[in-house]
Structure 1
Amino acid sequence: MFFLMKPKANMVQRHPFHLVDPSPWPLVASLGGLSLTFGGVLFMHNYKGGGELLCLGVITILYVMFTWWRDVIREALFEGQHTLAVQQGLRLGMILFIVSEIMFFFAFFWAFFTSSVSPVFNIGGVWPPTGIEAISPWGLPFLNTILLLSSGASVTWAHHAIVGGFKKEALQGLGITLAFAVTFTLIQGFEYLSAPFGMSDGVYGSVFYMATGFHGFHVIIGTIFLAVCTFRLYLDHFSRQHHFGFEAAAWYWHFVDVVWLFLFLSIYWWGFNLTV
């Protein structure tokens, strides 16, 4: 009897961490990323089959995103694998991810201030450069600023509603946030269509479209993130004590808000009124 019970005793987990089961998704994601990269290069150089390889990579990455996060949700919600220790690790991982995103945007701000504070003679020695008609900050950019700051308030309202156990109010807060986010993206697209300069118009166009364009891409990601959280909230995946999936989305959205505030103050407002 002792020998029969011994192997079972050795299988008892004596730590609070989650040992992830073997998964095919890291390998599939790597192959998808490889296909995406090679396909993108071949497509941009007009090689035959480049577009198909690029589409295959995109589809593979999207499929892995869905299945891998589905597995994580199942581990957390149905298997109870996300203990307090695991949640702490997830929080630290999300914080480090946001820090890496801050460094990403820091490069664009560095390029902007380097070019604007000390403009070279090639662009006329002034900022905005000679021949560039800068966009006024008090039109669509200011409206977008109000929308994003308001969305930050509504997502905070939704967070407090989840903590308080008010599902209906949380859904309303997330719905308002998503409406603001979609409106922001539409206005940003209209601004691009009506802008008096393009990305190829010197350093000003490059910095402007790279900074605001990547921010817009992050807005789209955050919108999808919050939309998934809204669907999960509707399905009662979140409790008052355990809702890190939503917290991660809220942190990311606040990061997007803060980046836009710096973009508005520096590129739109300060850059528009700068005279050298």
Structure 2
Amino acid sequence: MATAAAPNKDRYFVPAPSAWPFLMTMALAIMVVGLSNFLESKSFGTIPALAGLAMVFYVSFAWFANVISESERGEYGKQVDMTYRWSMGWFIFSEVMFFAAFFGALFYARGLSLPWLSGAGEKIETNLQIWQGFEAVWPSNGPAALGGDFQTIPAFDVPLINTLLLLSSGVTLTLAHHALKENHRGICILWMWATVSLGVVFLGFQGYEYIHAYRDLNLTLGSGIYGSTFFMLTGFHGMHVILGTLMLFVITLRLMKGHFKPEAHFGYEAVAWYWHFVDVVWLGLFVVVYWL
């Protein structure tokens, strides 16, 4: 079992110059440009998106390997621990704002745009002339039914199963954390594998849900404002679940290698913070997107 060296609490750690931030920026830029072209059905999109994604995985693996090596050598003290805690806190705050913008877009489309287009408000005459017969009902396929006919996914079907899966994963992750703090590493690892499995099953059900929506319900990104907001919110959440599941997987492997101690394991706690954030976002999605 690997044992980390005792950190020098009084040492102010200064990391060596690194090219990883620059390489990660380039990888993300290539991936985003490729994905944008792919969504716009341009010919040159798939290859850059996949190449950028591969670069992101490589840089992430190499960069975090360096950080883990520094941690296990005992380079980090209270100063680094505090820095990581603040950094993770601000990162999760930025993610909260990220999803708040998307929930805001849904609220604007559903609570403001639809009534305006149906003739409510100050510009009632103009709206009635442009969009005659438009009704402010949700879900909407847009003015003049531009999004075509589609069906929605019932809340108390696959979405409810996924809600139970994520809530259960939050419980298993908490049990694992308590086991780690009590130095019951074997029990902690078992609960962690259960958490990873629940995340994978969630992603499997979401993949099934998307296939069912496109193939059987005609619910696509082109299905008016409902389709675009539905896939924007659930799709980005799914990406966060993928990232969170990978993080949980890596943390579990590190636990099996003997990393983390009952009194010092912020790498574990950071992943737990992120996963609980993902759980909370899904509860909002289930209520606002699927149920109401």
User: d(CA) in 1 for partners of 2:92 and 2:47?
Assistant: 33
Please tell me the residue identity of whatever aligns with 1:104.
F
Count of aligned positions: 255
| 1:97 maps onto 2:91 in alignment | yes
Instruction: Give the conservation status (yes or no) of the 8 Å contact 1:178–1:226.
Output: yes
1:24–1:168 distance in 2 versus 1, CA, 3 Å: same
User: d(CA) in 2 for partners of 1:31 and 1:129?
Assistant: 39
Single out whichever of 104-113 and 30-39 deviates more from structure 2.
Answer: 30-39
**Aligned counterpart for 1:45 among listed residues 25, 42, 46:** 42
Aligned to 2:224: 202
**Within-5 A mapping of 1:55-204:** 55-78=50-73, 80-118=74-112, 119=114, 120-121=117-118, 124-129=135-140, 131-195=149-213, 196=217, 197-204=219-226
Aligned to 1:221: 243
1:214–1:18 distance in 2 versus 1, CA, 3 Å: same
What's the TM-score once normalised by structure 2's chain length? 0.81
Tell me the CA shift for residue 191 of structure 1: 1.0
User: d(CA) in 1 for partners of 2:9 and 2:174?
Assistant: 37
> Deviation per CA, 1:76-116, whole angstroms, max 9, x where unpaired?
112x1211121011011001000000111111111112222
User: d(CA) in 1 for partners of 2:243 and 2:46?
Assistant: 23
5+ residue gaps, structure 2, are 1-7, 119-130, 142-148
Instruction: Give the conservation status (yes or no) of the 8 Å contact 2:10–2:77.
Output: no
**Within-5 A mapping of 1:221-260:** 221-260=243-282
> Deviation per CA, 1:41-89, whole angstroms, max 9, x where unpaired?
6665324xx65544443332222111110010011112x1211121011
Aligned to 2:286: 264
What's the TM-score once normalised by structure 1's chain length? 0.85
Aligned to 2:20: 25
Please tell me the residue identity of whatever aligns with 1:109.
F
Please tell me the residue identity of whatever aligns with 2:136.
G
Instruction: Give the conservation status (yes or no) of the 8 Å contact 1:199–1:205.
Output: yes
Please tell me the residue identity of whatever aligns with 2:80.
V
Percent of pairs with identical residues: 40
Instruction: Give the conservation status (yes or no) of the 8 Å contact 1:18–1:82.
Output: yes
User: d(CA) in 2 for partners of 1:81 and 1:98?
Assistant: 25
Instruction: Give the conservation status (yes or no) of the 8 Å contact 1:16–1:86.
Output: no
Please tell me the residue identity of whatever aligns with 1:46.
S
Please tell me the residue identity of whatever aligns with 1:162.
L
Instruction: Give the conservation status (yes or no) of the 8 Å contact 2:9–2:78.
Output: no
CA RMSD of aligned residues (A): 2.1
User: d(CA) in 1 for partners of 2:34 and 2:104?
Assistant: 31
1:89–1:191 distance in 2 versus 1, CA, 3 Å: same
Please tell me the residue identity of whatever aligns with 1:67.
A
> Deviation per CA, 1:162-197, whole angstroms, max 9, x where unpaired?
110001110111111111111111111111111221
1:214–1:19 distance in 2 versus 1, CA, 3 Å: same
User: d(CA) in 2 for partners of 1:173 and 1:14?
Assistant: 31
5+ residue gaps, structure 1, are 1-12, 271-276
